[in-house]
Structure 1
Amino acid sequence: MQFPDDDNGKMLAAMAEAGIDLTKQLDVDFFLVFDDQRDAESATEELAKLELEGEMELQLNDEVGKWELIVCVPMVPEYQAIVDQELQLNTFAEEFGGATDGWGVMQHQEGDDDFADEDDGHECGADCKH
């Protein structure tokens, strides 16, 4: 597969190289960051009203000292779909003083169970990939 030479294209190429099937629906996590807790909470409340397919989680990222809203969207990770979703979420986040900060996919790999966090609060559905 050929991908554009940008961050999204490089991420997709790395995923394909790692053996991830990019033709199947995956849970793609988009990261929105906010400096202010109230802005992050307001954004979370408003995004919930939009009934976006997927799940959300708000947490303080201690490493960078910012509030991080993780928006998990089930989708086939096609380049243009990723770009479009990221642009849409960035426009939304900007209304609350935030911005997108990349995306990723949790992929269950052999040996992951050795380090699994049993109380991570994630509830897997029938199509969960991790």
Structure 2
Amino acid sequence: MTDQNIDVLPSGTTDGRYVFITATGSTYTYDADNQTLTRHPDDERVKQWLADGGVPKEVKYLGLHADDSAVLRADGDPIHVIDQGQIRVGQSARFILDLLRNGIYTHRVTSPVAAIVIPA
């Protein structure tokens, strides 16, 4: 079985596991089954993808650079997702998150999405 690339993940998706890469090179894992989002800045998979030259034309258009990702609090930690907007290649992804699980929500907007993958 191989990874499957998709162009759109509908809002409110409640099952499955998805990985998306943004124009700044951050990789996000969205676990819809558990409603968590994990951000991985400077992911080695992205660096390898760029080094191998396997960059689709829409990603080149977005100017993907694997070292442009800023450090954010809770990087690497699964964060509880309250709401997930539509995720579409070429547009920013939007999430409502409960970082501390204390009922105080934050709105996270990513840089434009370069790829969405359903891992094998």
Relative to its length, the structure with more strand (as a share) is: 2
Query: TM-score by structure 2 length?
Result: 0.32
Larger radius of gyration: 1
Provide the TM-score with structure 1 as the length reference: 0.30
Higher helix share: 1
